């Protein structure tokens, strides 16, 4: 069990990022349902909290124990802020201490320091160490030593951003106070009711990635869950783009031109900057999130408009017992020809990489895993070759545009990014062919094993309608294609 950090050290943590909106939802090259809110990045001053990047210590009902395993004293930290830096140099990043701590070296993982340091708030060192100690304490409390070190994962849209944080369906029907905050709380209630209460010993914690949660927001989430919650602050702003990205200045210039007032923090009328950063997050950055480093598995749930229905199995145990690395619910039709040239270049450099023929064929047929819901064994993804594969496409800006960024200084056009830019679903599908075989991937049975609904039209409803398409295990190929075109 890790040694706990002294509360006095927490009081020294006084630096925090201000941040912006992240586009929430499954990122499949932007082919989303048109009635979902548009996601954008916005600079937002964030109040330093004792929970930022840390553990929610309020749960006395965790791990089937009547004791409060994490009974930490309430510590009030100063309300200090840090202006978001416009410096794009690596020297402005304060993540090197954390990268060194996790044994990631720059030679094996080139660019990782930049990507992690720009996306995750790592300035509050003592709180991250406190969080690690709390996670270790949680795992040491498991009576079953074989229980997977797993977490449920939610990426939250910004909460304090006015109408863009509200359910468009609720707004159209004049339903008041139907916000992202309410929706995530309802999702947490559904998890407790339909998973934890149904399957023995499944009180896995939830990790929520966010930009602007305050103490009231955290308390609201904590009250909705019967399991621990950890929080990780992220940063979505212009400086989120790493300097290794080809033609970075031209990219930002092109992005500004498509957002109101030349400001990427304002909604552009399509899946814009924040949404594309979400694609980068799920495609590669998620595996290096500081708060996830103590976990081996995660289950992704869409924060804004998804619900976990009656779940009759423990998907973590199922995969671990069968030696499998990945689980999902359905395929979607997402052709991704822009990956082929990059795949060829990668194979010319990494000649020893083996690709599973069956998974490669599925990907080439446009059958992408619909990873809005996915259960992932993270260890295989924390591989230097997998990182190099991600970074090859990241530095060429394929997660921002179908054609990527030109290597010269010619103008860069953000053309049809909301339709054809690379999404994390097709990227995940191809990466799986590098990491495992078709036997290492499991398609869970919708309804009979796991019930999951996305989207729920009204964020305020606690349970989806019984006629949800995911309750029908025999969805036709035609309906599946339509679901894929709508996005998550």
List pLDDT tens digits, range 422-473. 999 999 999 999 999 999 999 999 999 999 999 887 788 777 664 433 333 3
For 476, list phi and psi in degrees, rounded to 5.
Answer: -70, 160
Domain ranges of the chain: 7-486
- Average predicted confidence (pLDDT) for the chain: 77
pLDDT of residue 165: 75
Residue at token pair 């990426």: 155
Specify the pLDDT at position 303. Answer: 82
Burial letters 76-98, b for 16+ CB under 10 A, else e = ebeeeeeebeeebebeebebeeb
pLDDT at 280: 96
Q: Is the pTM of this model over 0.85?
A: no
Which of 212, 214, 158, 211 is closest to 183 using CA atoms? 158
Per-residue pLDDT of the chain in tens (488 residues, 90 and over written 9): 433 334 333 333 333 333 333 333 445 443 433 222 222 222 222 323 444 554 443 333 333 332 222 222 222 222 222 223 334 444 457 788 888 888 888 899 999 999 999 999 988 889 999 999 999 999 999 999 999 999 999 999 888 877 767 777 777 778 777 888 999 999 999 999 999 999 999 999 999 999 999 999 999 999 999 999 999 999 888 889 999 999 898 888 888 887 777 777 665 655 778 888 899 999 999 999 999 999 999 999 988 789 999 999 999 999 999 999 999 999 999 888 889 999 999 999 999 999 999 999 999 999 999 999 999 999 999 999 999 999 999 999 999 888 888 877 777 776 555 567 899 999 999 999 999 999 999 999 999 999 999 988 778 877 766 443 333 333 334 443 443 333 33
How many residues are listed for the chain in this entry? 488
Q: Which fold has domain 7-486?
A: Spore Coat Polysaccharide Biosynthesis Protein SpsA; Chain A (3.90.550)
pLDDT digits (tens, 9 = 90+) for 208-236: 999 999 999 999 999 999 999 999 999 88
- Do the beta carbons of residue 238 and residue 259 sit within 8 Å? no
Phi, psi of 166 (to 5 degrees): -100, 155
Say whether the peptide bond before residue 366 is cis (omega within 30 degrees of 0): no
Instruction: Report pLDDT for 228.
Output: 97
Please report the pLDDT score of residue 158 as a whole number: 82
């Amino acid at each position: 069990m890790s040694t706990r950090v002294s509360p006095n050290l927490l009081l020294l943590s006084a630096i925090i990022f201000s941040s912006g909106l992240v586009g929430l939802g499954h990122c499949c090259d932007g082919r989303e349902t048109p009635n979902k809110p548009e996601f954008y990045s916005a600079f937002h001053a964030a109040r330093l909290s004792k929970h930022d990047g840390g553990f929610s210590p309020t749960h006395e009902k965790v791990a089937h124990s009547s004791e409060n395993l994490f009974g930490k004293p309430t510590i009030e930290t100063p309300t200090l802020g840090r202006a978001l830096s416009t410096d794009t140099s690596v020297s402005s990043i304060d993540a090197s201490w954390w990268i060194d701590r996790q044994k990631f070296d720059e030679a094996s993982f080139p660019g990782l320091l930049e990507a992690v340091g720009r996306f995750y708030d790592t300035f509050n060192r003592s709180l991250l160490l406190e969080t690690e100690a709390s996670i270790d304490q949680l795992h040491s409390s498991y009576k079953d030593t074989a229980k997977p070190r797993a977490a449920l994962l939610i990426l939250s849209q910004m909460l304090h951003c006015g109408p863009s944080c509200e359910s468009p369906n609720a707004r159209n029907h004049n339903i008041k106070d139907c916000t992202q905050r309410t929706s995530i709380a309802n999702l947490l209630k559904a998890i407790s009711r339909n998973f934890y209460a149904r399957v023995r010993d499944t009180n896995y914690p939830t990790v929520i990635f966010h930009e602007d949660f305050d103490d009231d927001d955290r308390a609201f989430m904590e009250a909705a869950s019967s399991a621990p919650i950890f929080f990780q602050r992220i940063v979505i702003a212009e400086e989120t783009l790493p300097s290794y990205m080809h033609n970075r200045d031209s990219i930002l210039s092109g992005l500004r031109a498509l957002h109101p007032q030349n400001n990427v923090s304002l909604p552009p009328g399509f899946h814009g900057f924040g949404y594309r950063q979400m694609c980068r997050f799920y495609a590669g950055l998620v595996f290096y999130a500081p708060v996830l480093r103590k976990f081996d598995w995660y289950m992704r749930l869409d924060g804004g408009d998804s619900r976990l229905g009656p779940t009759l199995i423990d998907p973590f145990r199922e995969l671990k017992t069968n030696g499998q690395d990945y689980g999902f619910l359905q395929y979607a039709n997402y052709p991704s020809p822009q990956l082929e040239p990059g795949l060829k270049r990668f194979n010319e450099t990494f000649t020893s990489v083996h690709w599973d023929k069956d998974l490669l064929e599925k990907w080439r047929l446009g059958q992408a895993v619909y990873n809005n819901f996915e259960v992932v064994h993270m260890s295989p993804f924390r591989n230097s070759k997998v990182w190099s594969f991600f970074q090859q496409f990241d530095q060429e800006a394929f997660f921002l545009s179908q054609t990527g960024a030109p290597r010269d200084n010619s103008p860069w056009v953000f053309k049809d990014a909301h339709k054809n830019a690379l999404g994390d679903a097709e990227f995940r599908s191809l990466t799986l062919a590098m990491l495992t075989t078709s036997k290492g991937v499991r398609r869970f049975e919708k309804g009979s094993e796991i019930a999951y609904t996305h989207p729920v039209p009204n964020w305020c409803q606690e349970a989806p309608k019984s006629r949800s398409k995911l309750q029908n295990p025999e969805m036709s190929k035609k309906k599946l294609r339509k679901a894929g075109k709508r996005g998550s």
